[in-house]
Amino acid sequence: MNKFIYILFGVLVLSSCSEYQKALKSDDVEYKTTVFLKQVEKKKYSKATRLFEQYAASYRGKAQSENAFFNYAHALYMNKQYISAAYQFESFASSYPKSPKAEEAAFLGAECYSKTSPMYSLDQVDTEKGLNKIQAFINKYPNSTLLPKANEVVKQLTEKLELKAYEIAKQYNTIGEFTRDYNAAVKALDNFMFNYPGSKYKEDALFYKYDSMYKLAVNSVPAKKEERLNTTKVYYQNLVKFKADTKYLEKANKMLEKVDKELKQYTN
């Protein structure tokens, strides 16, 4: 019985392969399309795209081509060929604006750009492009049923840009150990908090701003030291006002003790 099943399976596989090979060699567009759609249904996306690309140029614009072109774009998407898929989805939405699938194509095309977004530590040009594309979709289809997905993509991309911006600002504090330019760190962290006022990294940014001013103050020339020490105390207050039980409290308090000790020479 098992042997019979294996033989039957083998025959079916050979038949399927034979049909696909026949379609590759055929000049019959309708036959190619039928086999192409079968490959999509079987999730054989590489085979499907290879076959469709043989005749796509001559097939575009025909009344019966709408479904095939959407499936082609979707096959590219499922095969993680996001740049090509984005182009095809956008082309579909433009070529078939009245199609029931035009809105979905517009969303998937925009989402494809978000799929090319790299990890936050790398250049974020593609992330910004993806964000612009998905925002354009939201503006065009404000009542779309795909809006929750679109908003989730916006959230993910925005958070990535936010983390990138925070890490860049924090880096100024890190390299201050070598450059002694803590003013640049304070300014960078200020800019970050201005651009992302509700950021989940605000506590961290407030601490590193305090830390930067502290290091600037304690290493200052006498003429500027008192003013900078007092500014450091202000930054400490900003931190604990934002979060009284901040995770940096112990370290921040030890720094404040030194600031107060340094200031005593001016009060005396």
What pLDDT digit, counting tens, does each position of 44-65 carry? 999 999 998 988 888 777 777 8
Q: How far is CA 180 from CA 97, 219, 229, in A?
A: 58, 9, 16
Q: What's the pLDDT at 156?
A: 94
Domain 161-267 belongs in CATH node 1.25.40.10: yes
- Enter the tokens of residue 175: 């390299």
Judge whether 1-106 and 161-267 match in fold.
yes
Q: What's the pLDDT at 89?
A: 96
Q: What's the pLDDT at 36?
A: 85
For the chain, which residues make up each domain, given as ranges?
1-106, 161-267
Q: What's the pLDDT at 9?
A: 45
Segments of the chain with pLDDT less than 50: 2-16
State how far the Cα of 154 lies from the Cα of 157, in Å rounded to an integer: 5
pTM for this predicted structure: 0.78
Domain 1-106 belongs in CATH node 1.10.3470: no
| Euclidean distance between the first and the last CA atom of the chain, given in angstroms as a whole number | 101
Q: Is the dihedral of CA 21, 22, 28, 34 positive or negative?
A: negative
